[in-house]
Amino acid sequence: MNCNEAKELYSDYLDRRLTPFQNVLFREHVDGCAACRQDVANLQRTVDLIGSLDEIEAAPDFLAGVERKIDGRWGRLRRALFEPLKIKIPLEAAALLLVGSLAVLVYHRSSDQEYALVARMEQQSPRATVSPEMAEKKAETHTDREARQGYAELSRERLEKKSEAEPRSPAKGDSLSAQAPNPPLDMIAPEPPAAIAPAPPRPATPPASQPAAPPVTAKPASPPASSPPAARMAPPAAGDGALGRALQAPAAKPSASMGTTLEQSKRVETRIFPVPQIIEVAADQPEPVGNRVRSLVPEMGGKILNETATEGGLTISIELPESRQTEFATALEKETGAAPAERPDAFKMPDLLSGERSVARSRSTEETSLQKGTEPAEKQDDPVVTFEVRIQPKK
Amino acid sequence: MAIASTGDPDSELVRLAREGDRSAFNALVTKYRNRVLGIAARMLSDRAEAEDLAQDVFVKAYRSLRDFHGNALFTTWLYRIAANSCLNHNQRLKRQRRFTEAAVDSEIAGDGALDPHGLLEKKQLKALLEGAIRSLSEERRIVLILRDIEGQTYEEIAECLGIELGTVRSRLHRARAEVQAIIRASAATPKPISVAS
């Protein structure tokens, strides 16, 4: 073995990686070669020095850094919640809790939204069902500010109506009794038509203050136009037929003959129902107009409730879908043959939703009415309103 | 899969860590953090980068524990992750910026100039050695670190780096020879002697 061959084995020799045969040859050469022996010694020293290099100390937060990297952003929180050393919260339990909380939240929210919806409906329609007490309570407790305001207004309105209605409602025959809450229509229904006594005739003469009578005038029963809507939505006065009498029955004292239960009495207190309106028609010959009414009502999806012959005239109680009332009045008006110039600019008709509403008699309205005439009249969500058409001979 | 009983002193900690015991894994980190950091620091030029990489090595180890079946020592497996991470890091670094040997050489010359009379301060000598190790090529450097600093066997190094035993031997031999040559050259370079007048 020469020096070059020996040099290739220095490292293996130091690590005792030489085969026994290589080892013998290497030792023979090194023993006889001072330079190689020195080189081996130097290399051994170098290796020892390398092995003695100081250990590099990691920073104190090294482990924390590793944990941060492993866990990510929310890892510590997750581990704190779900991985305590002794008590581990099962993931399923956590999921169940979460689902339960969500369900409660959704239920609570939907309940509030429902009340808010009812409040809005109340603002738009007096026939929705919220008692003053409920409205007052929701005005205080509702989580939604807008809904609270809505309920507060509603509560005030209901209380005003209630205070106005309560002292007058028992007085039968009182002209203001029309403002009292009326029993629902379903309370009227059980009364058989045969039991309805013919109503005493009512003077058909319009009030003297009324302007030149249009051929067809739908007007409130008693109060002036400046009255609040509730006052204008007046039923006929006492004695105007069985329907009128039934509607005038005090809400707080429903008669047993009407089959009213305690629960129905409560409903009477908290619900407001439509009242019959009066449409007065002055005609030279009442009978053809009456015939037209009889034919128009079924066409409009309504029905004839009662007919009463009056002095030279005729009173027909009818039921109509609310959406057809304007159409009906317009059609009836056309039947009278009155020219538009003879009447005010707008045909005034009491509206059950917003008091008195002006219905412009435009061509488009008439066209719309005609189109509507082809639709099925009875719709489930279309409320029914009651009218009395009083046809009087012209004087 | 159960960890094979190979006489690995870390087998119990590894088993617990595989079962999700974080404290067992933390114990492994605490035990080997300096050694992994030593490899990273000698393979990388920047200490902060080395520390970051060493942490990444443990993160990789944590996430790969399920793949560790105990066929080798945990240290061999861990060093393999460390070595590969370092080599990959340096390759990425090389692509980003040119790493000149000259810079390293100048650092060595500056830090490790030997006393002309062979009276090397220990600190000087260690700085010289560190510079010499850094001057090695990555392939040789990692073998030298694993063998002479971490004390891995040739077989473990071969397994760790995925190379043949003969390759380990030759790379180690070259690495040692280079380091020795650098030290010798530094010792032969005379320092200017100031003469008092």
Checking A139-145 for CB contacts under 8 A at 24+ apart, the result is A142/A112, A142/A115, A142/A116, A143/A112, A144/A112, A144/A116
Neighbours of A231 (CB within 10 A): 18
Number of domains in chain B: 2
Under 8 Å between Cβ of A306 and A389: no
What's the gap in Å between the CA of B196 and the closest CA on chain A?
35
Which of B126, B177, B184 is closest, CB to CB, to A53? B126
Residues of A in contact with B123 (CB under 8 A): none
- Tell me the C-alpha distance between A235 and A248, whole Å: 8
Residue A351 or residue B29, greater confidence: B29
Residues B84 and B33 in one domain: yes
Q: Is residue B164 domain-resident?
A: yes
Tell me: do B79 and B124 sit in the same domain. no
Question: End of a domain among B98, B125, B152?
Answer: B98
Considering only CA atoms, which of B48, B18, B14, B19 is closest in space to residue B32?
B14
B33 with B84, same domain?
yes
Q: Which of A10, A62, A85 sits opposite B51 (nearest CB)?
A: A62
**Residue A246, CB-side half-sphere exposure with 13 Å CA sphere:** 28
What residues of A are in contact with residue B26 (Cβ under 8 Å)?
Answer: 63, 67
Name the packing angle between helices B154-161 and B165-188 (round to 10°): 110
**Per-residue model confidence as pLDDT tens digits over A101-134:** 999 888 877 766 666 666 666 565 554 455 667 7
Q: B87 and B12 share a domain? A: yes
Q: Are B169 and A17 an interchain contact pair (Cβ–Cβ within 8 Å)?
A: yes
Please tell me the distance from the alpha carbon of residue B181 to that of residue B173, in angstroms, as a whole number: 12
Q: Nearest C-alpha of chain B: how many angstroms from A147?
A: 52
| Residue A345 clears pLDDT 50, i.e. is over it | no
pLDDT band at A140 (very low <50, low <70, confident <90, very high): confident
Eight-state DSSP code of residue A201: P
Q: Taking CB atoms and an 8 Å limit, are B33 and A63 in contact across chains?
A: yes
Nearest to B38 among A12, A56, A69 (CB): A56
Q: What are phi and psi of A351, to 5 degrees?
A: -115, 135
**Mean pLDDT taken over chain B:** 79
Has the ipTM of the complex gone over 0.85?
Answer: no
Domain assignment of residue B148, yes or no: yes
Claim to verify: residue B24 and residue B75 sit in the same structural domain: yes
Note whether B9 and B82 are same-domain residues.
Answer: yes
| Between residues B122 and B63, the one the model is more confident about | B63
- Residue B10 sits in a domain whose CATH number is 1.10.1740.10
User: Could you tell me if B51 and B130 lie in one domain?
Assistant: no
Give pLDDT tens digits for B90-138. Answer: 887 777 665 444 444 443 334 444 444 454 567 788 888 888 998 999 8
Most A-contacting residue of B31, B60, B173 (CB-CB within 10 A), to test interface: B173
Provide CB contacts within 8 A for A117, sequence distance 6+. none
Q: What is the mean pLDDT of residues A140-149?
A: 72
Confidence of residue A395 (pLDDT cuts 50, 70, 90): low
Cβ pairs bridging A and B (under 8 Å): 90
User: If pLDDT is split at 50, 70 and 90, which confidence band does B171 have?
Assistant: very high
Cα separation, B51 vs B69, in Å, equals 27
Which residue in chain A has the smallest CA separation from B132? A50
Residue B55 lies in a domain: yes
One domain for residues B66 and B151: no
Q: Does A11 touch chain B (CB under 8 A)?
A: yes
- Do B138 and B48 sit in the same domain of this protein? no
Whether B49 and B121 map to the same domain: the answer is no
Instruction: Report yes or no on B32 lying in a domain.
Output: yes
Instruction: Return the pLDDT at A81.
Output: 63
> Does residue B168 sit within a domain?
yes
* CATH at B123: 1.10.10.10
Q: DSSP E strands: which ranges in chain A?
A: 216-219, 277-283, 303-310, 313-321, 347-351, 355-359, 384-393
> Are B10 and B65 in a shared domain?
yes
How far is B29 from chain A, CA to nearest CA, in Å?
7
Domain boundary among B50, B73, B98: B98
DSSP string, A235-283: PPPTTSHHHHHHHHS-TTS--GGGT--HHHHHHHHH------EEEEEEE
Domain end, chosen from B71, B98, B125, is at B98
Residue B138 belongs to some domain of the structure:
yes
Residues B144 and B86 in one domain: no
Q: How far apart are CA B106 and CA A341, in angstroms?
A: 112
pTM above 0.80, yes or no: no
Residue B21 structural domain? 1-98
